[in-house]
Chains A and B, each alone.
Chain A
């Protein structure tokens, strides 16, 4: 499968979000790909609130089966969640479990006025009733479970989408 350039998708995602964000909109990236993507969107959209990040390790529903991530990076929410407009940012939307965990964690900081979800790619395969508010690319058919689609960053900071066959 030919994957499009990540930069093109990021630009398209930012344009689709532009009419719906204000300077006070807060972005929260999900570690790790979502944080890189959120950094780009934050710059492209000229947002004024500091960027947040979430590591969902402590909220995963498979914690008792898979155990704790060996090096959790923690979450950083440097703005007041109460009554704010928040966009959760992730590179790839798959089962929806990560999004659910991020929502749970976010609400432990307060009650936002509105929460949206922005993703670069929707690969299908949802196991929960969750949908993206903004999505740059929806794959025509769901990817098989054995395949792993993710954003990668090289030393120069360039982002690329990569498909890994497990």
Chain B
């Protein structure tokens, strides 16, 4: 079966997941993003690549950082950006997802940036566009359910490459609530595709997926063991809003065992970097002293995220 993200020439048609995306395409996105980082330093922070194109931000779930950085990225490429506040729109009046998409296509959309609480919603849209012969319209997954958040995974890879140069000699630990995290799934897919020899996940059994080893990672149930000697620590947000049932005793208890403190970080390599996809729960998964400390690269991640999203959108918009 053809990869639904690629067109018949092997070019990126939609960005839906990093799982199964060829290494060459991931590398091309990172290489394309590099020159975009410099655009922010210009007098005119704009490139004409998507001039005259309409990008629709379709966010069925709340987000500030991701929606804003997608909006900035599209605007820096000179696209017209339309933000749909779906919570107060026709969906509430009973319109189906695909009817909404058809209506926006009738308004001459060129690209949809989609966030949805249901895994697979961006796939459904991409498939619908293909079935109706609208090959010129592209879909970017901005996070779907527990499934994937590919641009976050890509910006994390960009950040790691920026600070560590290579992937083939790294040990990377992903820490915390992997079970509810689409970010973790995208990170694991990208890290293994790019050839990171050791990817670890660290967390309590209740917050790790049951078959997590099958994703090619080493599992640790202790911070002290898991963090030893790592080059990169990728913290995850504790997703209280996605939890039902008693997976955890309390945030305080979680911090005591799984929170990243300076003391625990000292077990990693001295030049290890600390990442977090945001928004952070200070004092729950990460201590303020670490979040604001010299090893944290959390704010550069946000800045790189704009360049990476520009790269994805310009590659999609070029055919």
CB within 8 Å of B: which residues of A? 55, 58-59, 63-64, 67-68, 70-76, 81-82, 104, 107-110
Contacts and interface: CB of A to CB of B under 8 A. Distances in A.
A68 B35 contact: no
B48 to A, nearest CB: 6
Contacts, number: 49
Given A108-B47, A110-B43, 15 more contacts: A58-B49, A59-B47, A63-B318, A64-B317, A68-B318, A70-B28, A70-B31, A72-B32, A72-B35, A76-B38, A81-B43, A82-B43, A108-B43, A108-B44, A109-B44
Contacts of A67: 11, 318-319
Contacts of B44: 107-109
B228 interface: no
Could you say which of A68, A72, A76, A107 has the most chain B C-beta atoms within 10 Å of its C-beta? A68
Contact of A68 (B32, B46, B48): B32
B35 A74 contact: yes
Nearest to A110: B43
A68 B47 contact: no
A73 B35 contact: yes
B21 to A, nearest CB: 16
Interface residues of A, dominant DSSP: loop
A127 B49 CA distance: 21
Contacts of A110: 43
B42 A108 contact: yes
B158 to A, nearest CB: 14
Give the size category of B's interface with A. Answer: 20 to 34
Given A67-B318, A68-B32, A68-B318, A75 B47 contact: no
A71 B31 CA distance: 6
Contact of A55 (B31, B35, B48, B319): B35
Contact of B314 (A59, A68, A70, A71): A68
A81 B28 CA distance: 31
Interface of B: 11, 28, 31-32, 34-36, 38, 42-44, 46-49, 314-315, 317-319
11 contacts: A58-B48, A63-B49, A64-B317, A67-B11, A68-B32, A70-B28, A72-B35, A74-B34, A74-B36, A108-B42, A108-B46
Nearest to B46: A108
A59 B32 contact: no
B198 to A, nearest CB: 29
A63 B314 CA distance: 10
A30 B221 CA distance: 54
A64 B314 CA distance: 10
A58 B51 CA distance: 11
A143 to B, nearest CB: 29
A70 B35 CA distance: 12
Nearest to A73: B35
Contacts of B34: 74
B283 to A, nearest CB: 40
A59 B78 CA distance: 12
A104 B318 contact: no
A107 to B, nearest CB: 8
B162 to A, nearest CB: 14
A68 B28 CA distance: 11
Contacts of B32: 68, 71-72
Nearest to A77: B42
Contacts of A108: 42-44, 46-47
Contacts of A68: 32, 49, 314-315, 318
A71 B27 CA distance: 10
Nearest to B34: A74
Contacts of A71: 28, 31-32
Contact of B42 (A72, A73, A104, A109): A109
A72 B318 CA distance: 14
A71 B314 CA distance: 13
A47 to B, nearest CB: 23
A75 B38 contact: yes
Given A63-B49, A64-B318, A67-B319, A75 B43 contact: no
Nearest to B43: A110
A10 B23 CA distance: 42
B318 A58 contact: no
Contacts of A72: 31-32, 35
A95 to B, nearest CB: 18
